[in-house]
Structure 1
Amino acid sequence: MKSMTGYGRSSFLCENVEVSVEVSSVNKRNLETVVSLPRDWQALEREILTLTKEVVSRGRINFSVKARVDKAERPEASWDEKRLRDDLEQLRIFAEAEGIPYHPDASLLCRLASGQKFEQSLPDPTKMTEGLKQAAQEALKAMIQTRIEEGKHLEADIKARNAEITCLVNELEVSSEGISALWREKLLERLRQAELELDAEDERVLREVALFAERCDVSEELTRLRSHGELMNQILEEDGPVGRKLEFALQEISRELNTVASKSPSTEVKRLVIEARAECEKIREQALNVE
């Protein structure tokens, strides 16, 4: 079992350019990969997306690829004037749309031009493909390892809470026994207080007791709760993504607990159901971070 939280890093050298690859992941219901690359390397994004889909099934994956060029290696190439004009125009449009004062100056021009010079010094993306793929694979491997380690802690916590729910189900079974007999005595007591002398074996009394016993019988619900608890333990032992399976099992457990609470008039039963619900909710919070 893996967590959806992890981090990995790798780097490589290409033509005196040090390239670092960092990848982090957080929980998300489906798979979403966000890749940040230098502008001239955008064509390499597809390679990273393909590699990610091969090893990750859920979570938001953030890739950051950065290049560092030694100043001594940077060429003194001139900047692209047309591109500078385009960049300034895009900044103006954005500033107007956001209501931000826009006053371009020499400092802004220098920053844009420096960015162009830096990109001009980067290797051609076709020369980067293999190195980037290898670094991305190494970073993903490191991230997955942290997800596995975190997953072990999540698994232990979920198993412990699931065991607690099983204990509460056993207590529910004990507390549910004798409810019909108790209700029968209360019914006879109310009849006596109303000065209605009815025998305990009277057909009408027996019918009321039988109807009540049927309404408050929770034996089937308790059996299903035990079955769902066993299913959850089996899911935790599976290889591969199990997060959604856990969510389904938790939905079924919650449904059965609600039914038990609605059927039984016992305050002790309702107290035990509240405790089981609390454990179920804690497992649900953990399951949201399980791949």
Structure 2
Amino acid sequence: MIRSMTAFARSEADLGPQQAVWELRTVNHRYLEVNPRLPEGYRGLESHLRERARETLQRGKLDATLRLSDNGGDGGSLRLDHDLARSLVDLGRESVRELGTPGELSTAELLKWPGVVVTATLDAGEAQRRLQEAFDAALQELVEARGREGQALGTALEERLDGVEAGLARIKERLPEVREAFRNRLEERLGELRERVDPDRLEQEVVLLVQRADVDEELDRLATHTAEVRRVLREGGAVGRRLDFLMQEMNREANTIGSKSPDTAISQTVVDIKVLVEQLREQAQNIE
């Protein structure tokens, strides 16, 4: 499977009083570049991020952003300091009994007392573990998204390869007629020179001229490159650089065919092929 370098993924982690959100974005890049964006106090996660990214991705610029927010007073993050609460209740009762004060502490008054209600927090090790697990989950989602996008890219590439092969078939079908017409025109133009030029030398020049207009080798090489692109797509993996090189070679062969061809129809087909190759190149730049 081929994978795109463009994707987005998100995951969350519950840190008790805080909620953590990872956002991962990747875009095209010649190599793998990892840019962690972490709040102060969480820089220790950076080594884990870079290591996991290197294990999972081959190319692309990865922006990994960690956002933290309060859980909004979630009751699950609060607890009662039982020892302090009991002490306050006992003191209230003692005050009533010994000093004759109006009454014991109410529940509302008790809960308002500083330190009675405390926020439950995670220890640093547990918080880091949860953040790492959430990052790994987001990274896996990112890989899957890149795979889905890569599948769509592969389909688009195959369609354009079909177009290139169809153009090659049209050129090959047209070539015999073009060659015959080319020879006839050449013979007519050179016929009047035969009496003034050495016949053997003239024949050599004709052969050289015909050879210069021959595009069989270029057509074969372009067909070979097209077949190689299909093979690379089937093989999958990190093939973006390989595909980029093949697109350059395909464009070079198409240019040569166009420059050699004396036929308008073939020249137009070459233009169509070059447009398809350029589209292939643009798509291949998105592949890991």
Task: Tell me, yes or no, whether TM beats 0.5.
Answer: yes
1:121-140, aligned counterparts within 5 Å?
125-140=124-139
In structure 2, distance between residues paired with 1:124 and 1:46: 20
- Give the Cα separation in 1 of the matches to 2:71 and 2:187: 94
**CA distance, structure 2, for counterparts of residue 70 and residue 11 of structure 1:** 12
For residues 275 and 29 of structure 2, what CA distance do their matches in structure 1 show? 23
Listed as ranges, the matches of 1:134-213 within 5 Å are 134-191=133-190, 196=193, 202-213=199-210
Equivalent pair of 2:9/2:138 in contact (CA under 8 Å)? yes
Cα distance in 2, alignment partners of residues 178 and 210 from structure 1: 18
8 Å contact kept, 1:17–1:67: yes
1:18-167 mapped onto 2 (5 Å cutoff):
18-70=19-71, 72=73, 125-167=124-166
Question: Which string of whole-angstrom CA distances, capped at 9 and with x for unpartnered residues, describes residues 147-173 of structure 1?
Answer: 111111110010010111011111122
The amino acid that maps onto 2:134 is: A
Counterparts of 2:265 and 2:253 in 1: how far apart (Å)? 17
Q: 1:124 & 1:36 partners in 2: Cα distance?
A: 22
Tell me, which stretches of 5 or more residues in structure 1 are unaligned? 75-120
How far the C-alpha of 1:208 sits from its partner, in A, is 2.9
**SS of residue matched to 2:258:** helix
Cα separation, partners in 2 of 1:286 and 1:9, compared to 1, 3 Å: same
TM-score computed with the length of structure 2 as normaliser? 0.77
Distance change >3 Å, CA 167–CA 198, structure 1 → 2:
farther
- Taking a change above 3 Å as real, the CA distance of residues 27 and 125 of structure 1, as seen in their structure-2 partners, is farther
Larger radius of gyration: 2
RMSD over equivalenced CA pairs, Å: 2.5
CA contact (8 A) 1:4 1:27 kept: yes
Amino acid across the alignment from 1:133:
Q
CA distance in 2, matches of 1:196, 1:53: 71
User: How far apart, in 1, do the equivalents of 2:153 and 2:48 lie?
Assistant: 32
Structure 2 distance, partners of 1:166, 1:122, is: 64
Amino acid at match of 1:244: R
Identify the match of residue 271 of structure 1 among 268, 276, 280.
268
Aligned to 1:88: none
Distance 2:227 2:47 in 1: 42
Counterpart of 2:204 in structure 1: which amino acid? R
CA distance in structure 2 between the partners assigned to 1:198 and 1:186 by the alignment: 18
Q: Post-superposition shift, 1:187?
A: 2.9
8 Å contact from structure 1 (residues 169, 222) kept in 2: yes
Deviations 1:115-139 (A, max 9, x none): xxxxxx9866544321111101100
> Which amino acid in 1 is paired with 2:66?
V
SS in 1 for 2:235: coil
Corresponding residue number in structure 1 for 2:228: 231
Distance 1:124 1:35, change over 3 A: farther
Aligned 8 A contact 1:41 1:125 in 2: no
1:28-58 Cα shifts (integer Å, max 9, x gaps): 1111111111111112111111111111111
**Unaligned runs of at least 5 residues, structure 2:** 78-119
Q: Which residue of 1 aligns with 2:93?
A: none
Instruction: Specify the SS of the correspondent of 1:138.
Output: helix
Inter-CA distance 196–31: structure 2 relative to 1 (3 Å threshold): closer
Q: How far has the Cα of 1:178 moved from its partner?
A: 4.1
1:184/1:134 CA distance change after superposition, 3 Å: same
Aligned pair in 2 of structure 1 residues 177, 149: CA closer, same or farther (>3 Å)? same
- Cα distance in 1, alignment partners of residues 183 and 72 from structure 2: 91
